[in-house]
Amino acid sequence: MYSRTYKTAITIPPLAWVVAFLLIPYAALFCYSFWSVSASQTIVHHWNLGNYFGLLRDPMYRTVLARSLLVAVSVTVCALLLGYPVAYYLAFHAAKRKDLLYQLVIIPLWASYLVRGYAWKTILGTDGVLNGLLQFLHLTGHPLEFLLYSPFAVVLTLTHIYTPFAFLPIYASLEHVPRHLIEASHDLGAGRWATFRRIILPLSLPGILAGATFAFVLTFGDFLAPLLVGGSSGVMISNVVVSDFGAAFDWPMGAAISLCMLVLVVALLFSTERLERTLGPR
C-alpha cells in the first residue's frame, strides 16, 4: 500500500489545478453575474438580479440564443450524418486501408482551427473559390452572397471542424461491437439491414451520444467561426460574451450569460449520461 504522505503528495497537483483554473474563475464569474456597471464605466459591487432579468427581457438575447442552439443542433446532425457512415465503413469494410483512412479523417485536427476558418472564408467569399467555380461553369451569373457571412457558413465551417470529434467515439463504439454478435444475427436469418438496425445501431448508441455531445457542446460555445464567416446574421451567444468582456465592457452581463450557458451544457451532459445508461446493455 502507498503511504499517507505519498497519497497526499500526488493529490495536491491536480487539486491545485482544479482550484486555480476551475473553482476560483467560476466563483469569480458567479459573483460578477450579480454585480452591475455604473454609468461611469466602473463595476459596482452591489448584489442584484438585474443581469438575469435583462437576459429574460431583452429579445436580442433570445434571438441569439435560439440561433446558437439551432446552429449547434444543425452541426450535430450534419456531423453525425457524415461521421457515422465513415466510421461504419472504417470499422467493418476498410480492411487494409483502415489505418490510412483513419489518419485522413484525423488529419484536419492537426491543422490550426484559425487556418481552417480562413480556408472556408477563402472558399465561400464573393471572390472566393466556390463562387469562381460556379461562375466559370455558368451556374450563376453573379457571386452568391449567402455563401459567406451567414448562419449557413457557420454551420458548414463548424461541421467541417467538429465532424472528427463526432467520428471518433462512434468509430470506437463500432470497433467494440463483437463480431460474433453480427455473425449470430446473420445466422438467425437477419439480413444486413435488419442486423444493422437491431444489433449494430443499438450497440453503437453510446458512441453516437458521445459524438453528438462533443459536436453540440463545442459548437454551442464556439465564437471564432461566427466571427470569421458568420457576419452580423451569424452572431452566436459566445460572441455576445466576448464583446461583453471586451469592447462593450459589461463583465457582469457576460458572466451571467456564461453561467446560463454552463448550466445548459451541464444539464445536457447529465441527461445524455442518463440516456446512455438506460439505452446501454442491461
Which residues of the chain form contacts with other proteins (CB under 8 A)?
178, 180-181, 183-191, 194-195, 198-199, 202-203, 279-282
Q: CA 184, 189, 191, 195 torsion: positive or negative? A: negative
Shortest Å, Cβ 198 to other proteins: 8
Which amino acid is residue 256, in one-letter code? Answer: A
Q: What is the distance between the alpha carbons of residues 245 and 263, in angstroms, rounded to a whole number?
A: 19
Shortest Å, Cβ 227 to other proteins: 43
Nearer to other proteins, 88 or 120 (CB): 88
Nearer to other proteins, 178 or 246 (CB): 178
Shortest Å, Cβ 178 to other proteins: 7
CB-based contact 117:154 (threshold 8 Å):
no
Nearer to other proteins, 138 or 282 (CB): 282
CB-based contact 246:228 (threshold 8 Å):
no
Residue 108 C-beta-side C-alpha neighbours within 13 Å: 18
Nearer to other proteins, 55 or 190 (CB): 190
Nearer to other proteins, 14 or 189 (CB): 189
Shortest Å, Cβ 195 to other proteins: 8
Nearer to other proteins, 14 or 281 (CB): 281
- Distant-in-sequence, close-in-space partners of 15: CB < 8 Å, separation ≥ 6: none
Shortest Å, Cβ 279 to other proteins: 8
Of 219, 207, 213, nearest in space to 266 by CA:
213
Shortest Å, Cβ 210 to other proteins: 17
Place of cell 459566445: 238
